[in-house]
């Protein structure tokens, strides 16, 4: 029996997660294992009522689970960034989920905006470093005449930053990106292992021609780690160039490994070429700890309770969860059933169908049991 924590979150999050649970339970029945769910009340409603985002008790309880099934956070009643940083990013950092895994695969029957491309051309995985770069929270704003100094300590980072301001009107904002050798090494090693299991091609994305310090270190570590994987074909590309090649020649990519910020950007492009955010799933992975699986779309509060949201990204994330805990055949069956649902035309409005959220979940769960 597998124990899985569930955070439905806000907006459509609880609805799409419920459909994902339905499908995963069908897979458990089909492949003779059990899932025990434990729901966690984390999100906008609790924050508005109590002021709490994630408590120490929440984190201690969640640490007992190998996997978290996550919906979405975001609510118009809460200023942007509070829920996202206080819940989603906090979970990623607290559990050291240093790999953000994003499959970019075009399924048969799904339209891509790339002319002349088909499911044979779009099948890659982006491995995004998930805990460093410009997301570590080292930054600030200040203004005023004279010497202004800002100090911040976060985890292992202790930085003093000062600028002379010439007038009261001057204002400075800054954000510092941090790459560590160990942080780069572990995520690149993960990407190498993944590429070994796929088509043995690994591409590194950076901007070392301009941001030479942080991404120069990234390149050094990439070269050192991949030297131990001699059967892999490897190459470097700059982030601006990779956006062009994703559009022109997506078939040339297999596994792409990238620092945090660039991964955040190019995976949204990847989501669009695979058919849109309704099909885009992600995993936040700590191979030795607690990992979290989620759709990468937002909470879409205007669709809350309407039974119209597309649950397929969440179901795909559920397939990734099953693969992570070792139920690989069940994971494949979930993805097979999802693809069959698309070919059968059982999809929500955003994909050209007329099915409700619950209809899609029901249909895919039935296919999991019958295929």
User: What are the start and end residues of each CATH 3.40.50 domain in the chain?
Assistant: 111-135+177-273
Is residue 155 over pLDDT 50?
Answer: no
Is residue 366 over pLDDT 60?
Answer: yes
- Mean per-residue pLDDT for 350-364? 97
The distance of Cα 321 from the centroid of its chain, to the nearest Å, equals: 12
pTM tops 0.85: yes
User: What are the start and end residues of each CATH 3.40.718.10 domain in the chain?
Assistant: 1-105+276-371
Model pLDDT for residues 34-49, shown as the tens digit of each residue: 999 999 999 999 999 9
Name the residue with tokens 């597998």: 2
Contact, 30 vs 365, CB < 8 A? no
Q: CB-based contacts of 210: which residues, under 8 Å, 6+ apart?
A: none
The span from the CA of 333 to the CA of 25, in Å, is 12
Assign domain 111-135+177-273 to its CATH architecture: 3-Layer(aba) Sandwich (3.40)
- Mean per-residue pLDDT for 178-194? 97
The pLDDT score that the predictor gives to residue 156 is 47
Is residue 228 over pLDDT 70?
Answer: yes
Is residue 240 over pLDDT 80?
Answer: yes
Is residue 131 over pLDDT 60?
Answer: yes
3 exposed, middle or buried (CB, 10 Å; 0-12, 13-18, 19+)? middle
The span from the CA of 17 to the CA of 23, in Å, is 10
The pLDDT score that the predictor gives to residue 135 is 81
Is residue 164 over pLDDT 60?
Answer: no
* CB half-sphere exposure, 59, CA atoms < 13 A: 16
Is residue 145 over pLDDT 80?
Answer: no
Task: State how far the alpha carbon of 206 is from the alpha carbons of 128, 212, 233, 244, 246, in Å.
Answer: 11, 10, 17, 14, 15
- Buried b vs exposed e over 14-51: b needs ≥16 C-beta within 10 Å? bbbbbbbbbbbbbbbebeeeebeeeebebbbebbeeee
The pLDDT score that the predictor gives to residue 334 is 98
The span from the CA of 364 to the CA of 164, in Å, is 61
The pLDDT score that the predictor gives to residue 176 is 84
- Mean per-residue pLDDT for 194-199? 97
Assign domain 1-105+276-371 to its CATH architecture: 3-Layer(aba) Sandwich (3.40)
Q: How many residues does this entry show for the chain?
A: 371
When the pLDDT of each residue in the chain is averaged and rounded to a whole number, the result is: 92
Is residue 235 over pLDDT 80?
Answer: yes
Structure-token pair, residue 40:
């966690």
- Mean per-residue pLDDT for 335-359? 97
Task: Report residue 148's pLDDT band, with 50, 70 and 90 as the boundaries.
Answer: very low
Known catalytic residues?
A: 135, 207, 240, 264, 268
290 closest CA partner among 84, 117, 87, 69 = 69
DSSP string, 112-172: -SSTT--TTT-EEEEEEE-SSBTTS--EEEEE-SEEEEEEEEETTEEEEEEEEESSTT-EE
The pLDDT score that the predictor gives to residue 141 is 72
């Amino acid at each position: 029996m597998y124990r899985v924590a569930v955070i439905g979150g806000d907006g459509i999050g609880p609805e799409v997660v419920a459909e994902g649970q339905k499908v995963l339970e069908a897979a458990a029945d089909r492949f003779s294992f059990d899932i025990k769910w434990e729901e966690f009340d984390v999100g906008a409603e609790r924050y508005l009522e109590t002021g709490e985002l994630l408590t120490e008790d929440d984190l201690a309880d969640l640490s007992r689970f190998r996997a978290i099934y996550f919906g979405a956070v975001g609510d118009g009643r809460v200023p942007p960034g509070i829920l996202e940083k206080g819940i989603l990013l906090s979970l990623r950092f607290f559990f050291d989920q240093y790999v953000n895994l994003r499959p970019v695969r075009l399924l048969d029957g799904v339209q891509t905006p790339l002319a002349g491309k088909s499911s044979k051309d779009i099948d890659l995985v982006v491995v995004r470093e998930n805990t460093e770069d410009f997301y570590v929270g080292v930054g600030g704003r200040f203004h005023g005449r004279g010497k202004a100094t800002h100090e911040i300590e976060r985890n292992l980072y202790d930085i003093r930053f000062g600028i002379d301001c010439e007038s009261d009107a001057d204002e400075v904002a800054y954000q510092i990106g941090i790459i560590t050798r160990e942080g780069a090494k572990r995520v690149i090693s993960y990407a190498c292992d993944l590429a070994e299991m796929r088509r043995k091609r690994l591409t590194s994305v950076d901007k070392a021609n301009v941001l030479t310090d942080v991404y120069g270190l990234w390149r050094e570590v990439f070269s050192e780690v991949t030297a131990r994987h001699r059967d892999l074909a490897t190459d470097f590309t700059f982030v601006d160039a990779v956006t062009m090649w994703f559009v022109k020649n997506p078939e040339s990519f297999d596994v792409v490994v990238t620092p945090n910020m660039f991964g955040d950007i190019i995976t949204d492009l990847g989501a669009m070429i695979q058919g849109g955010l309704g099909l885009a799933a992600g995993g936040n992975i700590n191979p030795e700890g607690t990992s979290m699986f989620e759709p990468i779309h937002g909470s879409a509060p205007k669709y809350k309770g309407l039974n119209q949201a597309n649950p397929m990204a969440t179901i795909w994330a559920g397939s990734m969860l099953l693969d992570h805990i070792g139920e690989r055949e069940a994971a494949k069956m979930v993805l097979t059933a999802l693809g069959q649902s698309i070919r059968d035309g059982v999809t929500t409005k955003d994909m050209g169908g007329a099915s409700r959220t619950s209809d899609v979940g029901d249909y895919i769960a039935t296919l999991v049991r019958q295929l």
